[in-house]
Structure 1
């Protein structure tokens, strides 16, 4: 039997079983558009979408291309989920908690105050029930999600005036990402949900009193140190925020099995790449900021205690009125408790010792 006859009669499965590969495996050309919630100037967080696009193209031999568009090019930063849900774009790259106004459960797919750190979040998503539970929820919006990066634990933001006690939060107008604003409100603050590109002018003009973004590398690029002298830590509302790629369900279902595998692999590559970049670049940026006069401060103990108490109370309230939250958070809460027990004996103890050494 000649090669052509074998291919015609056996099919692909038979060919692979026989150990004979066809000369060319035809794949239909796929072209997607991806809208980001971030400006191109933030090369770390926006850059994850570029990594995703590059990997998809490379792994498909150019047969599957994803064009990446910065916030405002195709739609506003906070309009990308609507775009994916409605099918006007195939994909977006964003922070899920931006959309907690649609449903608080979006925050669980990204970060909640006093939640999981970055490694714990990846463990919940990849090896726990996280991805399964979140995708069940996202199905309501005609979307499927894949990991799109993590910044690692963030800083607590920039303040025009010093925060000495929890009383200083009262009346504070602060740009704070998504869901964390609910806790700030309970402390007497006034949250403002602004895209990254709008934060500096608001802080400079005094429209807001404080702002948080990610950490030293991005914050230095955005110039926050020029308009607010106090830099607080830690960002208790973002211990390990996961960014996601949201993909329109119909567009994803139309992909071949090979292209679905490529999407999953490309997202994993982008996911690892983002945090590696932040971890590599933040130390030097922090040194430069402090050297230029930034006043680094830890949050007072009463701020941390009050914020924790209000966060836990908020989660109980949401579990009582939002069935989706109750289901997902119950799993998240148990996973968090087990992770903290484990990290207490390993990561935390090791890190504390190493940070006390003079290297």
Structure 2
């Protein structure tokens, strides 16, 4: 009869043998390789995407590798969507607006005028107010997987000459996003489209008078603080909406655990950007050595806020989907205002 002592002894020996057996985790013979291009140039990309890609490649441990390319390295930014849709590029980090997405939600990508005040508004709108489902549906229609959305910095003017009133914007040639440019023409701004890497030279040659592309963190990080003198504290929007996308066929070919790993690493990237920008915006306003701050008085800036509401209504009239998104943005902001501090206050 097996005694309790012998059972435990034999069980322990068997268990020890099992634990001692080496576990061999061999990477597959042909790792999956993706090519990914970001809207960001190399200096900015070091912060806003490279850490997440490096993290993914380490954790994937040879099963999959993402090769990262910066702005315009494979295709011009305005052709990113088409290149991803066709499979020339597997994955993209961009806003909808910059990559010329042919969807109903494109106008809301980048900086939708005065629709957001803080970076946390973006994940709240996508995850709690239904924008995520709308984006997923719109991109699935055109063969693209919308992986996730996140916030970047607010949008401010960085200029050669000081901006102290709306009148100072008249005739200024400004590099900005398509939708932001469309809105800013109401105040005499002349939007200019150029390759991202040409902006610094265009400021030096006088082709541009200013940049409305980012917050102050990015102005310093990419070197634009070397060719501008002033930073306007009033912002066009409180946060940029950017996304990670993938070619739908490439996404569907991934095993579930790699799909989840891609999503988790990109979500971590969104979180990293939130605190990197949030800290940088305040610190560089106070301690940045190169740019002088200017402000348009609140009473005058209220004209811009009123014009933004009118702009939203114009956008809503263009399609049912756009109307649905505008209604959500209005509902969200109404709740924030009624909630009071710290959500919204004058």
The alignment's TM-score, normalised by the length of structure 2, stands at 0.83
Q: Distance in 2 between matches of 1:303 and 1:76?
A: 38
Alignment of structure 1 residues 284-303 onto 2, 5 Å: 284-289=283-288, 291-292=289-290, 294-301=291-298, 303=300
Unaligned runs of 5+ in 1: 1-21, 353-359
Q: Distance in 2 between matches of 1:38 and 1:345?
A: 34
Return closer, same or farther for 1:47/1:165 CA change in 2, 3 Å cut-off.
closer
- 1:62-119 CA-to-partner distances (Å, cap 9, x unmatched) read 2121110112221112221111111111101112232467456213244311112211
Q: Distance in 2 between matches of 1:148 and 1:331?
A: 16
Report if aligned partners of 1:93, 1:148 keep a CA contact under 8 Å in 2: no
- 1:181-233 CA-to-partner distances (Å, cap 9, x unmatched) read 11111222211233432221111111121112323332124443443322101
The match for 1:262 is 261
Structure 1 window deviating more from structure 2 (157-166 vs 89-98): it is 157-166
Check if 1:208 corresponds to 2:205.
no
- 1:152-193 CA-to-partner distances (Å, cap 9, x unmatched) read 434x22222233332232222111223111111122221123
Check if 1:246 corresponds to 2:242.
no
Alignment of structure 1 residues 160-179 onto 2, 5 Å: 160-179=160-179
Check if 1:310 corresponds to 2:307.
yes
Q: Distance in 2 between matches of 1:187 and 1:216?
A: 22
The match for 1:340 is 337
Report if aligned partners of 2:97, 2:179 keep a CA contact under 8 Å in 1: yes
Radius of gyration: which is bigger? 2
Shift of 1:348: 5.0
The match for 2:134 is 133
Check if 1:38 corresponds to 2:35.
no
Structure 1 window deviating more from structure 2 (308-317 vs 216-225): it is 216-225
Structure 1 window deviating more from structure 2 (55-64 vs 75-84): it is 55-64
Q: Distance in 2 between matches of 1:41 and 1:104?
A: 31
Return closer, same or farther for 1:119/1:33 CA change in 2, 3 Å cut-off.
same
Q: Distance in 1 between matches of 2:195 and 2:25?
A: 46
Alignment of structure 1 residues 170-189 onto 2, 5 Å: 170-189=170-189
Q: Distance in 1 between matches of 2:166 and 2:276?
A: 34
The alignment's TM-score, normalised by the length of structure 1, stands at 0.80
Check if 1:320 corresponds to 2:317.
yes
Aligned residues: 322
The match for 2:119 is 118
Shift of 1:288: 4.3
Report if aligned partners of 1:96, 1:107 keep a CA contact under 8 Å in 2: yes
- 1:94-149 CA-to-partner distances (Å, cap 9, x unmatched) read 12232467456213244311112211111111232111111111223321223364
Q: Distance in 2 between matches of 1:315 and 1:260?
A: 35
Say what the alpha-carbon RMSD is for the aligned residues: 2.6
Unaligned runs of 5+ in 2: 1-22
Alignment of structure 1 residues 224-239 onto 2, 5 Å: 224-236=224-236, 238-239=237-238
